[in-house]
Amino acid sequence: MRRASLAAVAAAGWLAAAACRPAEPPSADPENAARERMIRTQIVARGIRDPRLLAALRAVPRHLFVDPAHRTEAYADRPVPIGEGQTMAQPYVAALMTELLDIQPTDRILEVGTGSGYESAVLSRLAAEVYSIEILPGISRRAQDRLRSLGRTNVRFRIGDGYGGWPEAAPFDGILVAAAPRRMPPALLEQLAPNGRMVIPVGDFFQELKVYARDAKGSVTENSVIPVRFGKMSGEASAKP
């Protein structure tokens, strides 16, 4: 059964750091220490509690998904450049979107916007299968190399426009979209399975993170979570009014 209410998750996200758990013992590896500090001060302190998600965040070395010139910024509380004008999402926002999906171990997930591949790696530790689409060939190939080097074998990649989703692999138990269309892409909603969720930023200049949930009978509900600022979805989405 899907867990927390969206209102509870959103409210928890803005709690003060007083909610944080005690610090982990110091690590001899500075990148491991930086990752623990990120989880403690940016993720747990803002209300993310899913133990499977926290374990995945600990297991994925975020700094390996950042170009060497920006590696010292990998665990910072902000987006990080990954080349070609693209960025890796702020750690908290990425974690919130993932928790809102409420991924179960048997789920099949569609990711629209592979980016650095970091989110793909996190999703691969939570779901049975991940299907990831990226419109920029160079960005996709670098992400595929990173996932391959980490031995993640349950992620399938496609280079192309994610606006239409991945229809031949649908339906999906969860859909995570990492770029903002002006309006919800209807094809993505059609590819959402019963009892599935889609998490997506929607809007032009003013954007909201939204969750679309389909119940067992096929009805869809829409909820707004928090204001966000993502890059605009390119390709077919950019031609839509």
pLDDT in tens, 38-58: 999 999 999 999 999 999 999
Of 69 and 127, the structure prediction assigns the larger pLDDT to 127
Per-residue exposure over 220-239, b if at least 16 CB sit within 10 Å of its own CB, e if not: eeebebbebebbebbeebee
pLDDT of 15 > 50? The answer is no
**Does 32 score more than 60 pLDDT?**
yes
Q: Which pLDDT band holds residue 213 (cuts at 50, 70, 90)?
A: very high
pLDDT tens digits for range 130-172: 999 999 999 999 999 999 999 999 999 999 999 999 999 999 9
For residues 133 and 123, give the distance between their C-alpha atoms in angstroms, rounded to a whole number.
14
Lowest mean pLDDT among 10-14, 28-32, 168-172: 10-14
Long-range contacts formed by 134-138: CB under 8 A, 24+ apart: 134/158, 134/159, 134/162, 135/159, 135/160, 135/161, 135/162, 135/234, 135/235, 136/84, 136/86, 138/83, 138/84
pLDDT digits (tens, 9 = 90+) for 67-122: 888 889 999 999 999 988 899 999 999 999 999 999 999 999 999 999 999 999 99
pLDDT for residue 29 is more than 90: no
Q: If pLDDT is split at 50, 70 and 90, which confidence band does 6 have? A: low
Residue 123: is its pLDDT beyond 60? Answer: yes
pLDDT given at position 69? 87
pLDDT at residue 12, as a whole number: 47
pLDDT > 50? residue 31: yes
φ/ψ (deg, to 5) at 155: -115, 125
* pLDDT of res. 28: 60
Tell me the whole-structure pTM to 2 decimals.
0.87
The average confidence (pLDDT) of the chain is 90
For position 200, what pLDDT does the model report? 98
Q: What is the pLDDT of residue 239?
A: 79
Question: DSSP label at 6?
Answer: H
Cα distance between the two ends of the chain:
37
Q: Using CB atoms within 10 A of its CB, is residue 112 exposed (0-12), middle (13-18) or buried (19+)?
A: buried
Please report which confidence band the pLDDT of residue 7 belongs to, taking 50, 70 and 90 as the band edges: very low
